[in-house]
A and B are shown apart, each in its own frame.
Chain A
Amino acid sequence: MSRFKNLFTALAAVVLGLLAGAVFMALSGSNPLAGFYYLFRGGLMNMERIGNTLASATTLVFTGLAVAFSFKTGLFNIGASGQMLMGGLTATAIGLSVQMPRMILLPLIVLAAAAAGALWAAIPGFLKAKFNVHEVVATIMMNWIAYWTVYYTIPAYFKGTFLETESRRIPALASFRVEWLTNIFRGSYINMGVFLALTAVIVIAIILEKTTLGFELKAVGFNRYAAEYAGIHVPKNIVLSMSISGILAGLAGATYYLGYAVNMQIGVVPSAGIDGIAVALLGANSPWGVLASSLFFGILHSGKGFMNAMTKVPPEIGDTIIAIIIYFAATGVLFTRLWERITRKWNKEA
């Protein structure tokens, strides 16, 4: 019942987002119908583009899950970007320095990136549990620490032959791209991360719905006093929840830097960390909702360029339109809830 309502709310929000985007397209002198036609065509018109859409969605699934998971457990992990950077840095470091069979190397990279993300999120979790430092503040700080750590580490240890600002290219051995997948999707950036992301959705859904761990974490999230009363160790669960959230963000880093990208650049805060908040909001914090909204955002991201190429919409306006669609879709969830409240009240009075 409430799930159906969430789906309806999300769809209404998407429509609202698209409408807002349409208004903006019309204002910038383009035909919104043509704009949306090329936008969605750009995301989906052939196997390569579908592959690219899935590749964009992969990162968003991870960061969206990271934010949604923390939301579900009463925390606001705004530090997915930093955890993603640390996961990516760890993955890059191993990918560039360890030689071993791929069957062992890739799982090792996944585990190490997950651990790095977990650690990066566990620190704010610990500060929250122990000293009641608000996790929003702590994770933002951790984002910048990650940013500057990457900024220092890549040039110091992993720089290219004469490029200071990015790491060496990830060798094929350590890349998440695999030939058969690249071939199916005609040279797209789709990579093993897409399967990892699907697995993550399923695992997180199971944890939240079917396990005692999820039961504890959600109890702490909904009402930490009741959880404490029930004998659930609240501080432990806060750290644990942040760590799991961090694992997801760390995996986003590994699959992004070793799958979507071919090396790691310094001086960039990955926007997927922030987009994850919108993904989680639109997906009503449910793992399956995150999956669906990531696909939607993936289409927007990968279709935008084609829309720009085919219409008179300038790229800067294109970015704005995408941002507006995302913003309205995400906040649309809030709007529709408000609307429901208003109609309910109106019904009462009528």
Chain B
Amino acid sequence: MEYIVEMLHITKDFPGIRANDDITVQLRKGEIHALLGENGAGKSTLMSILFGLYRPDAGVIKVRGNEVAIHNPNVANALGIGMVHQHFKLVHNFTVTENIILGMEPTVGPMLQTRDAAKRIKALSEQYGLNVDPDAKIEDISVGMQQRVEIIKMLYRNAEVLIFDEPTAVLTPQEITDLMQIIRNLIKEGKSILLITHKLKEIKAIADRCTVIRRGKVVDTVDVADVAESRMAEMMVGRTVNFTVDKRDQERGEAVLSIRNLNVLSSRKTQALKNFSLDVHRGEILGLAGVDGNGQTELVEALTGLRKVESGSILFKGRDITHDDIHSRVMAGMAHIPEDRQKRGLVLDYTMEDNFILEIYGREPYSHKGFLNRKAIRDHAEKLIRDFDVRSGQGALSMGRTLSGGNQQKAIVGREIDHDPELLLAVQPTRGLDVGSIEYIHKRLVEQRNNGKAVLLVSLELDEIMDLSDRIAVISHGELTGVKLPKETNESEIGLMMAGIAGAGGTE
């Protein structure tokens, strides 16, 4: 069997931790090889070694059978290895062509010569079915299209091996489907692909083989076709993962939240919500499905008081809170797991104990007459860290910044649920998290619902919505396109409603 890239017995130590322990990954020519592991399992370190950002303490790298020393990313590029990063490295006010030739600009004398480059980009785009316009500006094209620009950038540099780092994290369902097709095209044209992900479904759908890494060690390399999803999850997490959410049937109670004819403007002063009405009841998880950017953000911000309402009203526990401030909504029993945990959810430069009292520092016992009670704050933090299994280096005194994404999210979820809210607004609560954390957070959301509380779940992951929701509301272009019971619908119907085609017959 011919291998194009081999990383053999790679070991890398960081102070206090062995990030890679005797890892061997072999990429065959023309295959899609998935690298599966939880956050912090050692995938990024391994790829950084392949790109010359770190040097391994032990082990060798072979490319096309020859042992190579990769000192820096340029060496990797010269060997035909290219990477599509999770966060794109593009200059927004440059065109596609300008971005692609950046760093290797073709010149005639002192003059930039872009015409030939644009032609070649056009050709590459057609060859791989990428459909990229070389003259478009980055700021004018969608996220999915930007990713394709990154792909062309690698192809333009004659990359034979392409590495995709969590490529679907930022994409809509349609874009994911498109990306899968692009990856298949790449294989057809003779490229080899290393896919870093923790999404089992994608691996199952597209990868040939899969190497599973847990805590710096290789668990196994398997042929994807032979192994069930649940088995791969077990390998990744190290224990049995329960995919089906344990949800007992229960009657929903009265409406806690009533949204009536809400009109809200977006930050760009366009109409983000149009006469939006919806009720959320006690004892239910109401899932709000929709393609990103269809008014979900504005809806949640209007509900929490972060955004001004133009017209319409919000009733919470029967009281009109349309113009209440954020603080009084929190005090009234509304909790919010924000969409962007690092922007809104945490003060990264605060310790975890301070982050845990972010909304309730003014309450007894955490403060008394304006003075903080450090002991009560510490006890509170330690309880949450224990109850919600938040892992960090220095416990309550860890800076928010030092926690992994999953633990940051668990901390936020824990904090919000600990408020014992009447209504929990959970916005993409599992975005970017590994299977273990997702399972854990889902369990907690259902627990809320079982305790007779209301949960409004806003998610871009249709699976999540389908699995968790008692009812599914679909939003498109700021309007409610319908409400369905999960039993009585399916993904394709919801998908159509997300595209703005109203569901046939209401079931509410």
- Interface 1/0 per residue, B348-360 and A, CB below 8 Å: 1110001001110
Chain B residues with Cβ under 8 A from A215's Cβ?
354, 357, 361, 372
Q: Are B343 and A225 in contact (CB-based, < 8 A)?
A: yes
How far, in whole Å, are A163 and B359 apart by their CA atoms in the complex? 58
Chain A residues with Cβ under 8 A from B346's Cβ?
223, 226
A160 to chain B, nearest CB (A): 46
Q: Are B338 and A229 in contact (CB-based, < 8 A)?
A: yes
How far, in whole Å, are A227 and B327 apart by their CA atoms in the complex? 11
How far, in whole Å, are A159 and B423 apart by their CA atoms in the complex? 66
How far, in whole Å, are A348 and B12 apart by their CA atoms in the complex? 10
> Given the interface contacts A215-B354, A231-B330, A231-B359, does A226 sit within 8 Å of B345 by beta carbon?
yes
Q: Range of interface residues on chain B?
A: 20 to 34
- Nearest A residue (CB) for B328: A231
Q: Are A211 and B371 in contact (CB-based, < 8 A)?
A: yes
Q: Are A212 and B370 in contact (CB-based, < 8 A)?
A: yes
How far, in whole Å, are A211 and B362 apart by their CA atoms in the complex? 10
B141 contacts the other chain (Cβ, under 8 Å)?
no
Chain B residues with Cβ under 8 A from A210's Cβ?
371-372
How far, in whole Å, are A229 and B348 apart by their CA atoms in the complex? 14
B68 to chain A, nearest CB (A): 18
B325 contacts the other chain (Cβ, under 8 Å)?
yes
Q: Are A212 and B372 in contact (CB-based, < 8 A)?
A: yes
Q: Are B325 and A213 in contact (CB-based, < 8 A)?
A: no
A349 contacts the other chain (Cβ, under 8 Å)?
yes
Among A211, A222, A228, A349, point to the contact of B350 (Cβ < 8 A).
A222
B336 contacts the other chain (Cβ, under 8 Å)?
yes
How far, in whole Å, are A225 and B326 apart by their CA atoms in the complex? 12
A103 contacts the other chain (Cβ, under 8 Å)?
no
Chain A residues with Cβ under 8 A from B359's Cβ?
230-231
A197 contacts the other chain (Cβ, under 8 Å)?
no
- Nearest B residue (CB) for A349: B55
Q: Are A226 and B347 in contact (CB-based, < 8 A)?
A: yes
How far, in whole Å, are A223 and B359 apart by their CA atoms in the complex? 14
Chain B residues with Cβ under 8 A from A348's Cβ?
14, 54
> Given the interface contacts A212-B362, A215-B361, A222-B350, does A229 sit within 8 Å of B306 by beta carbon?
yes
Chain B residues with Cβ under 8 A from A232's Cβ?
327
A307 contacts the other chain (Cβ, under 8 Å)?
no
How far, in whole Å, are A226 and B338 apart by their CA atoms in the complex? 10
Chain B residues with Cβ under 8 A from A349's Cβ?
54-55
- Interface 1/0 per residue, B47-66 and A, CB below 8 Å: 00000001100000000000
How far, in whole Å, are A227 and B361 apart by their CA atoms in the complex? 12
* Additional A-B contacts beyond A226-B344, A228-B326 (12; CB < 8 A): A211-B372, A212-B361, A215-B354, A222-B350, A225-B344, A226-B345, A228-B344, A229-B344, A231-B325, A233-B325, A348-B54, A349-B54
20 contacts between A and B (CB under 8 A): A210-B372, A211-B367, A212-B367, A212-B370, A213-B370, A223-B343, A223-B349, A225-B344, A226-B343, A226-B358, A228-B306, A228-B344, A229-B344, A230-B326, A231-B305, A231-B328, A231-B330, A232-B327, A348-B54, A349-B54
